[in-house]
Amino acid sequence: MKFSKFFIPTLREAPGDAAVISHKLMLRSGMIRRLANGLFAYLPLGLRSFRKLERIIREEMDATGALEVKPTVVVPAELWKESGRWDTMGEALLRVKNRQNGDFVISPTAEEAITALVRDDLSSYKQLPLNLYQINTKYRDEVRPRYGVMRGREFVMKDAYSFHTDDASLSRTYEDMGRAYRNIFRRCGLSVIPVSADSGAMGGSGSEEFMIESEIGDNTLILCKSCEYAANVEKAACKPDFVPAGIAAAKEAAAGLPAMSRIDTPDTKSIAELCAFLKTGANKFIKTLVYQAANPSGDLLKAHIGGDMPAMLPIVALIRGDLDVNETKLASLLGASDVALAADTEVTRITGAPVGFAGPAGLNGVLIIADETVSAMTNAITGALVKDAHYQNVAFGRDFEPNIIADIRTVTANDRCPVCGGEFYEKKGNELGHIFKLACKYTKVMKVSYLDVDGKAQTPLMGCYGIGLDRTLAAVIEEHNDGAGIIWPLPLAPFEALIVPVKYEGAVKEASDNLYAELGKLGIDVLLDDRDERPGVKFNDGDLIGIPFRVVIGDKNLKAQPRRIELKRRGEDEVRLVELERAAAIIAEEARTELMSAYYAGGET
């Protein structure tokens, strides 16, 4: 391709609303342009890199045995109503009507569509396992789209969905897809951090995220300095700094301890105020927080909730005073689409006390969930359920009994690794990919079945595996750049080689054209800068675009014997003088070696 015939509208400066380096460089290099808030179009240069990313993903997906399909982007609302997510996805779900007033969804993900497609044709266990994937446009009506294509409203995802007869089969595919993801990201030159994660609105029994370290990351990662433990803070666990106890053991341990007694605490309700007033540490308190859980579900609650599950369920969460409730863990425990702190008026209605004076002792008529740390507390301080009063010497099991005891604690870098006891540290990260074990979450409610070997109807298990392509491409730029522009890893470069004639005429033009043709015959994506511009302008544009090999052809080196050209790698200072007649073969060999190295470096088995 010749520069004069290609559309590369480079910019000297990025628009003022571009806050991160990938957004700035994608705009400046002419890869993308903004059409509206959160909506970006790929221009020819950007699309070339995007297609190369697609090719890498397809190669790795096909290698796992996954089969590509192409569902519609517009999906009937009936499928989302079947799954229950029509009501739970909220305003992020873009709902539209057609001319017959029918409801449809602009797909933000494809569980419902793929499940419906499989349901229509699945009949026998002999058809399973089955793994289908697509690379398709999605739309989520983000409240605050930002960082360019890193968090846009419209984006492209590769999402795969697998169907299985048993847990062992699902686990095999889950592991296969995890390896494929590691291969994809390595081939793209990305340093990803696989972490345990919460399944969130996707549901299911387990998930793993693939994170890239980022200063503007939306996620906090908890990692161990001594072993490979890594988790999103929403999922992270830690080594207990307490000895947990069951109800019976706690009652026995509390025998002989001082009885619970009331103390006056006028106008003192926060943990900090109470610590100062009572001259004690925050770890002596039990925080009592009232939440509203939206759309709770699951077997855990059935033993405690009589009748139908309410759309909004008030619950009380207890945790040691120096810790915080992890609301994602709490929502997952309840099978809820969301949990949020109750309004002050609701707190008073449920506990009979103003905010700051609630406590579990004597609290009735509400589901109480205690963090595991609370089960070790025998001389705690809690609210007394009346204004300006607290209880002291409160003992778990003796003075109150929660309905559920679970890990609902937010882990921090001050905690210890649950695997080896090592020190934690934190990083900010952005999610590029996520794999889930969905179990029967969608196949059950959407009534998918097959006949097993005995002719009995069974519900298949399901897995889900997604990668954001736009976000991955932006992440590559975030990791590979310098002050001059992008430094593309060769597998994703829009062009692999750039020929820069110092002046495109005479012997220089002839040599440039011949090298251009020769590189093309050797399968190298090459861009010839035939513009009537100063060499400095061409060099700056080449560095901004990030093309890996730069060839400079000028009269001086052509007059030497043998004729030579300058060869330079983007991001390196070394400039080599290479014989013109050997230049194409040298570039082709180095490119081939590097591409094969990237391919096999990603070849995890």
The confidence score (pLDDT) of residue 424 equals: 95
Q: Is the pLDDT of residue 380 over 60?
A: yes
C-beta of residue 208 within 8 angstroms of C-beta of residue 235: no
Q: Mean pLDDT over residues 182-203, rounded?
A: 79
Q: Mean pLDDT over residues 383-405, rounded?
A: 94
Looking at 406, 435, 467, the residue that finishes a domain is 406
- In terms of domains, do 376 and 469 share one? no
Determine, yes or no, domain membership for 161: yes
C-beta of residue 512 within 8 angstroms of C-beta of residue 528: yes
Determine, yes or no, domain membership for 12: no
- What CATH number is given to the structural domain containing 584? 3.40.50.800
Split at pLDDT 50, 70, 90, the class of 201 is very low
Query: How many folded domains does the chain comprise?
Result: 3
Determine, yes or no, domain membership for 21: no
Determine, yes or no, domain membership for 253: yes
47, 180, 187, 523 from 60: Cα distances, Å: 20, 6, 10, 22
- Beta bridge partner(s), residue 285: 381
- In terms of domains, do 99 and 132 share one? yes
- In terms of domains, do 450 and 468 share one? yes
Q: Is the pLDDT of residue 36 over 80?
A: yes
- In terms of domains, do 124 and 208 share one? yes
Determine, yes or no, domain membership for 20: no
Determine, yes or no, domain membership for 417: no
37, 115, 602 from 491: Cα distances, Å: 30, 34, 12
The confidence score (pLDDT) of residue 604 equals: 56
Determine, yes or no, domain membership for 11: no
The confidence score (pLDDT) of residue 154 equals: 97
Task: For residue 518, give every residue at least 6 positions away whose Cβ sits within 8 Å of its Cβ, in sequence order, or none.
Answer: 584
C-beta of residue 320 within 8 angstroms of C-beta of residue 415: no
The confidence score (pLDDT) of residue 396 equals: 93
178, 204, 448 from 119: Cα distances, Å: 26, 19, 5
The confidence score (pLDDT) of residue 602 equals: 52
CA 154 to CA 141: how far, in whole Å? 8
- In terms of domains, do 232 and 178 share one? yes
- In terms of domains, do 347 and 299 share one? yes
- In terms of domains, do 144 and 263 share one? no
Average pLDDT, the chain: 93
233, 423, 426 from 225: Cα distances, Å: 16, 6, 10
- In terms of domains, do 208 and 357 share one? no
C-beta of residue 402 within 8 angstroms of C-beta of residue 364: no
pTM for the whole structure: 0.85
The confidence score (pLDDT) of residue 605 equals: 46
- What CATH number is given to the structural domain containing 145? 3.30.930.10
Determine, yes or no, domain membership for 112: yes
- In terms of domains, do 402 and 266 share one? yes
Within 247-375, strands assigned E span 261-264, 286-294, 312-320, 338-341, 367-371
Give φ, ψ of 479 to 5 degrees. -85, -25
- In terms of domains, do 297 and 155 share one? no
Split at pLDDT 50, 70, 90, the class of 202 is very low
- In terms of domains, do 287 and 429 share one? no
The confidence score (pLDDT) of residue 246 equals: 78
With residue 445 as reference, give the H or E element that holds it: helix 441-445
Of 605 and 56, the structure prediction assigns the larger pLDDT to 56
Task: Kindly report, residue by residue over 560-585, the tens digit of the pLDDT.
Answer: 999 999 999 999 999 999 999 999 99
The confidence score (pLDDT) of residue 203 equals: 46
Task: Kindly report, residue by residue over 401-438, the tens digit of the pLDDT.
Answer: 999 999 999 999 999 999 999 999 999 999 999 999 99
Domain membership of residue 586 as a residue range: 487-601
CA 96 to CA 90: how far, in whole Å? 14
- What CATH number is given to the structural domain containing 296? 3.90.960.10
Looking at 376, 406, 436, the residue that finishes a domain is 406
Please state, for a pLDDT cut of 90, what percent of the chain lies above it.
83
- In terms of domains, do 110 and 205 share one? yes
Looking at 345, 373, 406, the residue that finishes a domain is 406
CA 186 to CA 188: how far, in whole Å? 5
